[in-house]
Amino acid sequence: MTTPLNQDTIEARLQELESNLATTRRSLRRTRRWLGMAGLCGLGLLGAAAADMSVIDVVRAKRMEIVDNKGNVLLAAGGDADGGRLDLWTPAGCNVMRMSANSNGGDMALWNCQGRSIAGLFANEQGGELSIWNKNGGRSARVHDSGEGGMLELKKDDKLRASIGGTMLGSAIELYDTKDARITSLSTADDYGYVGIRDRVLLTSTSERSEMTVKHGDDGNMAQIIGATDMSSFTLKAPSGSVKMHAGDENMLPTMAVINSGGQMGAHMKIREHGGGTLTASTRDGMEVASIRSDESGNGRVDLSDVQGTLMATMQTLSERGATLALMSPNGKRACAMAASQDGGVLNLSNGQGSPVLVGGIASGRRDGALNLYNQRGIPVISAGSTIGGFGQLSINDDNGHRLVTFPQRFESTQAGTGPTDQ
Protein backbone atom coordinates (compact mmCIF):
# COMPACT_ATOMS: atom_id res chain seq x y z
CA MET A 1 0.00 0.00 0.00
CA THR A 2 0.79 3.43 -0.69
CA THR A 3 0.29 6.66 1.15
CA PRO A 4 -0.72 9.63 -0.94
CA LEU A 5 1.45 12.71 -0.81
CA ASN A 6 0.50 16.19 0.34
CA GLN A 7 -0.01 18.62 -2.61
CA ASP A 8 1.89 21.54 -0.98
CA THR A 9 4.91 19.40 -0.29
CA ILE A 10 5.24 18.31 -3.93
CA GLU A 11 5.16 21.86 -5.26
CA ALA A 12 7.84 23.04 -2.81
CA ARG A 13 10.18 20.29 -3.89
CA LEU A 14 9.69 21.09 -7.62
CA GLN A 15 10.49 24.73 -7.06
CA GLU A 16 13.74 23.75 -5.25
CA LEU A 17 14.82 21.49 -8.13
CA GLU A 18 14.19 24.24 -10.68
CA SER A 19 16.21 26.70 -8.61
CA ASN A 20 19.17 24.29 -8.37
CA LEU A 21 19.03 23.62 -12.12
CA ALA A 22 19.20 27.37 -12.91
CA THR A 23 22.15 27.78 -10.61
CA THR A 24 23.94 24.88 -12.29
CA ARG A 25 23.29 26.34 -15.72
CA ARG A 26 24.75 29.73 -14.70
CA SER A 27 27.86 28.00 -13.25
CA LEU A 28 28.39 26.08 -16.48
CA ARG A 29 28.13 29.26 -18.55
CA ARG A 30 30.73 31.00 -16.34
CA THR A 31 33.07 27.96 -16.53
CA ARG A 32 32.82 27.96 -20.34
CA ARG A 33 33.70 31.67 -20.46
CA TRP A 34 36.74 31.22 -18.16
CA LEU A 35 38.02 28.23 -20.14
CA GLY A 36 37.69 30.21 -23.36
CA MET A 37 39.57 33.11 -21.92
CA ALA A 38 42.26 30.77 -20.50
CA GLY A 39 42.67 29.14 -23.91
CA LEU A 40 43.11 32.49 -25.59
CA CYS A 41 45.64 33.56 -22.96
CA GLY A 42 47.53 30.28 -23.36
CA LEU A 43 47.72 30.69 -27.10
CA GLY A 44 48.91 34.24 -26.61
CA LEU A 45 51.58 33.20 -24.18
CA LEU A 46 52.81 30.41 -26.50
CA GLY A 47 52.97 32.83 -29.41
CA ALA A 48 54.86 35.38 -27.35
CA ALA A 49 57.33 32.72 -26.17
CA ALA A 50 57.92 31.51 -29.71
CA ALA A 51 58.51 35.05 -30.91
CA ASP A 52 61.11 35.68 -28.11
CA MET A 53 63.18 32.42 -28.35
CA SER A 54 66.18 34.18 -30.12
CA VAL A 55 66.76 36.61 -27.27
CA ILE A 56 66.92 34.28 -24.31
CA ASP A 57 69.64 35.66 -22.01
CA VAL A 58 70.75 32.63 -20.01
CA VAL A 59 70.56 28.85 -20.42
CA ARG A 60 71.97 27.02 -17.40
CA ALA A 61 72.97 23.35 -17.30
CA LYS A 62 75.73 21.19 -15.76
CA ARG A 63 76.28 19.31 -19.00
CA MET A 64 75.13 19.59 -22.59
CA GLU A 65 75.46 16.83 -25.19
CA ILE A 66 74.96 16.68 -28.94
CA VAL A 67 74.20 13.19 -30.26
CA ASP A 68 73.79 11.66 -33.72
CA ASN A 69 70.83 9.67 -34.99
CA LYS A 70 72.15 6.56 -33.25
CA GLY A 71 72.48 8.27 -29.91
CA ASN A 72 76.29 8.50 -30.01
CA VAL A 73 77.66 11.59 -28.26
CA LEU A 74 79.48 13.87 -30.75
CA LEU A 75 79.95 16.97 -28.60
CA ALA A 76 79.79 17.50 -24.88
CA ALA A 77 80.06 20.73 -22.94
CA GLY A 78 80.65 20.59 -19.25
CA GLY A 79 83.14 21.46 -16.56
CA ASP A 80 85.73 20.04 -14.21
CA ALA A 81 87.89 21.20 -11.33
CA ASP A 82 89.88 23.60 -13.59
CA GLY A 83 86.85 25.17 -15.33
CA GLY A 84 84.84 24.69 -18.51
CA ARG A 85 85.47 21.84 -20.94
CA LEU A 86 84.33 21.02 -24.45
CA ASP A 87 84.94 17.53 -25.95
CA LEU A 88 84.44 16.26 -29.50
CA TRP A 89 83.98 12.62 -30.62
CA THR A 90 83.92 10.93 -33.98
CA PRO A 91 80.90 8.77 -34.92
CA ALA A 92 83.13 5.78 -34.06
CA GLY A 93 83.49 7.06 -30.51
CA CYS A 94 87.02 8.49 -30.65
CA ASN A 95 87.54 11.44 -28.34
CA VAL A 96 89.73 13.55 -30.69
CA MET A 97 89.62 17.08 -29.28
CA ARG A 98 89.22 18.87 -25.97
CA MET A 99 89.13 22.56 -25.13
CA SER A 100 89.40 23.31 -21.46
CA ALA A 101 91.07 25.45 -18.82
CA ASN A 102 94.18 24.78 -16.74
CA SER A 103 95.79 26.53 -13.80
CA ASN A 104 97.61 28.96 -16.17
CA GLY A 105 94.86 29.66 -18.73
CA GLY A 106 93.41 27.97 -21.81
CA ASP A 107 94.18 24.45 -22.98
CA MET A 108 93.39 22.68 -26.29
CA ALA A 109 94.39 19.08 -26.99
CA LEU A 110 94.10 16.83 -30.06
CA TRP A 111 94.28 13.01 -29.94
CA ASN A 112 94.25 10.29 -32.56
CA CYS A 113 91.87 7.36 -32.41
CA GLN A 114 94.48 5.35 -30.48
CA GLY A 115 94.15 7.84 -27.62
CA ARG A 116 97.63 9.37 -28.10
CA SER A 117 98.30 13.11 -28.10
CA ILE A 118 99.20 14.53 -31.52
CA ALA A 119 98.92 18.30 -30.87
CA GLY A 120 98.45 20.67 -27.99
CA LEU A 121 98.04 24.42 -27.51
CA PHE A 122 97.97 25.64 -23.95
CA ALA A 123 99.05 28.28 -21.46
CA ASN A 124 101.98 27.67 -19.09
CA GLU A 125 103.89 29.68 -16.50
CA GLN A 126 105.99 31.51 -19.15
CA GLY A 127 103.13 32.16 -21.59
CA GLY A 128 101.84 29.97 -24.39
CA GLU A 129 103.03 26.61 -25.76
CA LEU A 130 102.34 24.61 -28.92
CA SER A 131 103.44 20.96 -29.13
CA ILE A 132 103.16 18.30 -31.82
CA TRP A 133 103.57 14.53 -31.29
CA ASN A 134 103.97 11.70 -33.76
CA LYS A 135 101.43 8.90 -34.09
CA ASN A 136 103.23 6.86 -31.43
CA GLY A 137 103.11 9.60 -28.82
CA GLY A 138 106.70 10.86 -29.19
CA ARG A 139 107.01 14.64 -29.19
CA SER A 140 108.25 16.01 -32.55
CA ALA A 141 108.05 19.78 -32.15
CA ARG A 142 107.54 22.35 -29.44
CA VAL A 143 107.05 26.13 -29.60
CA HIS A 144 107.08 27.98 -26.32
CA ASP A 145 108.53 30.88 -24.36
CA SER A 146 111.75 30.01 -22.53
CA GLY A 147 111.61 33.01 -20.23
CA GLU A 148 114.16 34.83 -22.41
CA GLY A 149 112.21 34.71 -25.70
CA GLY A 150 110.40 32.44 -28.11
CA MET A 151 111.79 28.91 -28.58
CA LEU A 152 111.24 26.34 -31.35
CA GLU A 153 112.39 22.78 -30.59
CA LEU A 154 112.47 19.96 -33.14
CA LYS A 155 112.63 16.46 -31.67
CA LYS A 156 112.68 12.78 -32.53
CA ASP A 157 110.74 10.66 -30.03
CA ASP A 158 111.17 13.36 -27.36
CA LYS A 159 114.94 13.61 -28.01
CA LEU A 160 116.07 17.09 -28.97
CA ARG A 161 117.52 17.43 -32.48
CA ALA A 162 117.41 21.19 -33.14
CA SER A 163 116.31 24.38 -31.45
CA ILE A 164 116.04 28.04 -32.38
CA GLY A 165 115.03 30.80 -30.07
CA GLY A 166 115.48 34.27 -28.75
CA THR A 167 117.76 35.17 -25.86
CA MET A 168 118.17 38.18 -23.61
CA LEU A 169 120.72 39.69 -26.04
CA GLY A 170 119.91 38.12 -29.41
CA SER A 171 119.07 34.65 -30.74
CA ALA A 172 120.49 31.12 -30.78
CA ILE A 173 120.34 27.95 -32.91
CA GLU A 174 121.55 24.55 -31.67
CA LEU A 175 121.81 21.22 -33.52
CA TYR A 176 122.20 17.80 -31.81
CA ASP A 177 123.25 14.32 -32.89
CA THR A 178 121.43 11.05 -32.17
CA LYS A 179 123.27 10.73 -28.84
CA ASP A 180 121.86 14.04 -27.57
CA ALA A 181 125.26 15.71 -27.94
CA ARG A 182 125.24 19.29 -29.17
CA ILE A 183 127.05 19.40 -32.54
CA THR A 184 126.52 22.92 -33.87
CA SER A 185 125.66 26.19 -32.15
CA LEU A 186 124.87 29.57 -33.66
CA SER A 187 124.12 32.64 -31.60
CA THR A 188 124.01 36.41 -31.65
CA ALA A 189 124.40 38.92 -28.84
CA ASP A 190 124.08 42.59 -29.75
CA ASP A 191 127.08 43.14 -32.09
CA TYR A 192 128.45 39.62 -31.52
CA GLY A 193 127.98 36.54 -33.71
CA TYR A 194 129.09 32.98 -32.84
CA VAL A 195 129.23 29.60 -34.63
CA GLY A 196 130.51 26.48 -32.88
CA ILE A 197 130.88 22.92 -34.18
CA ARG A 198 131.41 20.30 -31.45
CA ASP A 199 133.12 23.07 -29.46
CA ARG A 200 136.18 22.42 -31.64
CA VAL A 201 135.53 24.76 -34.56
CA LEU A 202 134.61 28.23 -33.35
CA LEU A 203 133.79 31.32 -35.40
CA THR A 204 133.13 34.67 -33.74
CA SER A 205 132.62 38.10 -35.21
CA THR A 206 131.90 41.68 -34.23
CA SER A 207 131.95 44.89 -36.25
CA GLU A 208 135.65 45.29 -35.36
CA ARG A 209 137.01 41.75 -35.04
CA SER A 210 136.47 38.29 -36.54
CA GLU A 211 138.04 35.05 -35.32
CA MET A 212 138.13 31.39 -36.34
CA THR A 213 139.54 28.77 -33.97
CA VAL A 214 140.07 25.03 -34.50
CA LYS A 215 140.65 22.86 -31.41
CA HIS A 216 141.56 19.22 -30.84
CA GLY A 217 140.34 17.64 -27.64
CA ASP A 218 142.07 19.05 -24.59
CA ASP A 219 145.20 20.07 -26.53
CA GLY A 220 143.95 23.64 -26.88
CA ASN A 221 143.90 25.74 -30.03
CA MET A 222 145.32 23.94 -33.07
CA ALA A 223 144.61 26.72 -35.61
CA GLN A 224 143.41 30.29 -35.24
CA ILE A 225 142.73 33.15 -37.66
CA ILE A 226 142.03 36.65 -36.36
CA GLY A 227 141.07 39.64 -38.43
CA ALA A 228 140.53 43.02 -36.82
CA THR A 229 140.23 46.64 -37.86
CA ASP A 230 143.99 47.27 -37.59
CA MET A 231 145.57 43.80 -37.49
CA SER A 232 145.32 40.17 -38.57
CA SER A 233 147.01 36.97 -37.39
CA PHE A 234 147.21 33.27 -38.21
CA THR A 235 148.39 30.53 -35.84
CA LEU A 236 148.98 26.80 -36.37
CA LYS A 237 149.81 24.58 -33.42
CA ALA A 238 150.90 20.94 -33.13
CA PRO A 239 152.62 18.87 -30.43
CA SER A 240 155.93 19.44 -32.23
CA GLY A 241 155.58 23.23 -32.33
CA SER A 242 153.59 26.08 -33.85
CA VAL A 243 153.59 28.73 -36.56
CA LYS A 244 152.40 32.30 -35.98
CA MET A 245 151.83 35.07 -38.50
CA HIS A 246 150.93 38.60 -37.50
CA ALA A 247 150.32 41.70 -39.60
CA GLY A 248 148.91 45.18 -39.43
CA ASP A 249 149.29 46.13 -35.77
CA GLU A 250 150.56 49.70 -35.49
CA ASN A 251 152.94 48.58 -32.74
CA MET A 252 154.31 45.56 -34.64
CA LEU A 253 155.28 45.20 -38.27
CA PRO A 254 154.21 42.01 -40.13
CA THR A 255 155.91 38.93 -38.69
CA MET A 256 155.88 35.13 -38.96
CA ALA A 257 157.30 32.93 -36.20
CA VAL A 258 157.89 29.17 -35.92
CA ILE A 259 157.80 28.01 -32.29
CA ASN A 260 159.34 24.70 -31.19
CA SER A 261 157.79 22.25 -28.74
CA GLY A 262 159.57 23.99 -25.86
CA GLY A 263 157.84 27.26 -26.64
CA GLN A 264 161.01 28.91 -28.00
CA MET A 265 161.19 30.67 -31.34
CA GLY A 266 162.94 28.43 -33.87
CA ALA A 267 162.54 30.66 -36.91
CA HIS A 268 161.30 34.19 -37.41
CA MET A 269 160.43 36.33 -40.41
CA LYS A 270 159.41 39.98 -40.30
CA ILE A 271 159.25 43.24 -42.23
CA ARG A 272 161.72 45.92 -41.17
CA GLU A 273 160.84 49.59 -40.76
CA HIS A 274 162.41 50.54 -44.10
CA GLY A 275 160.31 47.87 -45.85
CA GLY A 276 162.93 45.15 -46.25
CA GLY A 277 162.55 41.64 -44.87
CA THR A 278 164.40 39.56 -42.25
CA LEU A 279 164.49 35.79 -41.83
CA THR A 280 166.18 34.32 -38.73
CA ALA A 281 166.83 30.83 -37.33
CA SER A 282 167.41 30.06 -33.65
CA THR A 283 168.65 27.24 -31.43
CA ARG A 284 166.31 25.05 -29.36
CA ASP A 285 166.74 27.54 -26.54
CA GLY A 286 165.73 30.46 -28.74
CA MET A 287 169.24 31.87 -29.40
CA GLU A 288 169.37 33.47 -32.87
CA VAL A 289 172.19 31.85 -34.88
CA ALA A 290 171.38 32.69 -38.51
CA SER A 291 169.69 35.53 -40.33
CA ILE A 292 168.99 36.70 -43.86
CA ARG A 293 167.91 40.31 -44.34
CA SER A 294 167.97 43.29 -46.65
CA ASP A 295 169.25 46.77 -45.87
CA GLU A 296 167.64 50.11 -46.66
CA SER A 297 169.16 50.07 -50.15
CA GLY A 298 167.82 46.62 -50.88
CA ASN A 299 171.16 44.79 -50.63
CA GLY A 300 171.11 41.34 -49.07
CA ARG A 301 173.05 40.12 -46.01
CA VAL A 302 173.55 36.75 -44.32
CA ASP A 303 174.85 36.44 -40.73
CA LEU A 304 175.81 33.22 -38.91
CA SER A 305 176.48 33.01 -35.17
CA ASP A 306 177.58 30.33 -32.71
CA VAL A 307 175.40 28.82 -30.00
CA GLN A 308 176.19 31.75 -27.69
CA GLY A 309 175.03 34.24 -30.34
CA THR A 310 178.53 35.47 -31.29
CA LEU A 311 178.74 36.50 -34.94
CA MET A 312 181.03 34.02 -36.77
CA ALA A 313 180.37 34.71 -40.45
CA THR A 314 178.73 37.42 -42.50
CA MET A 315 178.13 37.86 -46.19
CA GLN A 316 176.58 40.82 -47.91
CA THR A 317 176.21 42.41 -51.30
CA LEU A 318 176.93 46.01 -52.28
CA SER A 319 175.46 47.31 -55.48
CA GLU A 320 178.58 49.34 -56.40
CA ARG A 321 181.29 46.98 -55.12
CA GLY A 322 179.97 43.43 -55.26
CA ALA A 323 179.82 40.75 -52.56
CA THR A 324 181.87 40.37 -49.34
CA LEU A 325 182.37 37.43 -47.00
CA ALA A 326 183.88 37.69 -43.53
CA LEU A 327 184.73 34.85 -41.11
CA MET A 328 185.22 35.63 -37.41
CA SER A 329 187.41 34.05 -34.73
CA PRO A 330 185.81 32.88 -31.46
CA ASN A 331 186.76 36.20 -29.82
CA GLY A 332 184.69 38.07 -32.41
CA LYS A 333 187.65 39.42 -34.41
CA ARG A 334 187.62 39.14 -38.18
CA ALA A 335 189.90 36.28 -39.24
CA CYS A 336 189.20 35.99 -42.94
CA ALA A 337 187.54 38.22 -45.47
CA MET A 338 186.82 37.86 -49.16
CA ALA A 339 185.42 40.62 -51.28
CA ALA A 340 184.71 41.55 -54.84
CA SER A 341 185.78 44.93 -56.19
CA GLN A 342 185.66 46.70 -59.50
CA ASP A 343 189.13 45.27 -60.26
CA GLY A 344 188.37 41.73 -59.08
CA GLY A 345 188.53 39.56 -55.98
CA VAL A 346 190.33 40.26 -52.68
CA LEU A 347 191.41 37.89 -49.87
CA ASN A 348 192.25 39.14 -46.38
CA LEU A 349 193.53 36.96 -43.50
CA SER A 350 193.94 38.44 -40.00
CA ASN A 351 195.47 37.32 -36.71
CA GLY A 352 193.66 36.80 -33.43
CA GLN A 353 193.73 40.53 -32.72
CA GLY A 354 192.04 41.35 -36.01
CA SER A 355 195.16 42.74 -37.71
CA PRO A 356 195.59 41.65 -41.36
CA VAL A 357 198.56 39.35 -41.93
CA LEU A 358 197.93 38.37 -45.56
CA VAL A 359 196.18 40.32 -48.28
CA GLY A 360 195.82 39.06 -51.82
CA GLY A 361 193.97 40.43 -54.74
CA ILE A 362 194.14 42.39 -57.96
CA ALA A 363 196.57 45.26 -58.17
CA SER A 364 194.79 48.59 -58.18
CA GLY A 365 194.04 49.75 -61.71
CA ARG A 366 195.51 46.55 -63.23
CA ARG A 367 194.59 42.98 -63.96
CA ASP A 368 197.63 41.41 -62.29
CA GLY A 369 197.58 39.62 -59.00
CA ALA A 370 199.28 40.93 -55.84
CA LEU A 371 200.04 39.39 -52.42
CA ASN A 372 201.18 41.16 -49.24
CA LEU A 373 202.30 39.69 -45.91
CA TYR A 374 202.07 41.85 -42.77
CA ASN A 375 203.67 41.68 -39.35
CA GLN A 376 201.69 41.76 -36.09
CA ARG A 377 201.63 45.55 -36.29
CA GLY A 378 199.91 45.47 -39.64
CA ILE A 379 202.95 46.65 -41.62
CA PRO A 380 203.63 44.90 -44.97
CA VAL A 381 206.96 43.06 -44.90
CA ILE A 382 206.69 40.91 -48.05
CA SER A 383 205.07 41.89 -51.32
CA ALA A 384 204.68 39.69 -54.34
CA GLY A 385 203.33 40.76 -57.65
CA SER A 386 204.19 41.34 -61.28
CA THR A 387 205.81 44.06 -63.24
CA ILE A 388 204.20 46.08 -65.96
CA GLY A 389 205.65 43.65 -68.41
CA GLY A 390 203.98 40.77 -66.65
CA PHE A 391 207.03 39.25 -64.92
CA GLY A 392 206.95 38.26 -61.27
CA GLN A 393 208.57 40.43 -58.60
CA LEU A 394 209.18 39.98 -54.87
CA SER A 395 209.96 42.73 -52.33
CA ILE A 396 211.06 42.37 -48.70
CA ASN A 397 210.69 45.21 -46.15
CA ASP A 398 211.86 45.79 -42.60
CA ASP A 399 209.46 45.94 -39.62
CA ASN A 400 208.68 49.55 -40.42
CA GLY A 401 207.81 48.84 -44.02
CA HIS A 402 211.05 50.15 -45.58
CA ARG A 403 212.08 48.18 -48.64
CA LEU A 404 215.23 46.13 -48.15
CA VAL A 405 215.50 44.14 -51.37
CA THR A 406 213.59 43.41 -54.53
CA PHE A 407 213.92 40.29 -56.70
CA PRO A 408 214.80 40.76 -59.52
CA GLN A 409 215.87 44.37 -59.23
CA ARG A 410 215.39 45.23 -62.95
CA PHE A 411 213.92 43.66 -66.03
CA GLU A 412 214.87 43.97 -69.69
CA SER A 413 213.15 42.56 -72.68
CA THR A 414 215.06 40.66 -75.37
CA GLN A 415 214.52 41.16 -79.03
CA ALA A 416 213.39 37.57 -79.46
CA GLY A 417 210.84 37.71 -76.70
CA THR A 418 210.40 38.38 -73.03
CA GLY A 419 212.56 37.23 -70.19
CA PRO A 420 214.28 38.63 -67.10
CA THR A 421 217.90 39.77 -67.16
CA ASP A 422 219.47 40.63 -63.85
CA GLN A 423 221.88 43.53 -64.33
pLDDT in tens, 363-405: 767 778 888 999 888 889 998 888 777 788 899 999 888 988 9
275 or 99, which is more confident: 99
**C-alpha triplet 305, 311, 313: angle, nearest 5°:** 80
Cα 64 to Cα 33, 75, 77, 85, 98: the distances in Å are 43, 8, 5, 11, 15
pLDDT band at residue 416, thresholds of 50, 70 and 90?
very low
Summarize pLDDT for 60-104 with one digit per residue, the tens. Answer: 888 999 999 999 999 999 988 889 999 999 999 999 999 999 999
pTM, entire model: 0.59
Summarize pLDDT for 120-149 with one digit per residue, the tens. Answer: 999 998 899 999 999 988 999 999 998 888
Mean pLDDT of the chain, nearest integer = 83
Summarize pLDDT for 302-329 with one digit per residue, the tens. Answer: 999 999 889 999 999 887 778 899 999 8
pLDDT band at residue 59, thresholds of 50, 70 and 90?
confident
Q: Rounded to 10 degrees, what is the CA torsion of 314, 315, 316, 317?
A: 160
With pLDDT > 70 as the criterion, what percentage of the chain qualifies?
Answer: 81
Cα 223 to Cα 219, 226, 235, 257: the distances in Å are 11, 10, 5, 14
Summarize pLDDT for 144-181 with one digit per residue, the tens. Answer: 998 888 999 999 988 999 999 998 889 999 999 988 88
- CB-CB contact of 304 with 289 (8 Å): yes
pLDDT band at residue 238, thresholds of 50, 70 and 90?
confident
Give the pLDDT score at 303.
94
Q: Is the pLDDT of residue 192 over 50?
A: yes
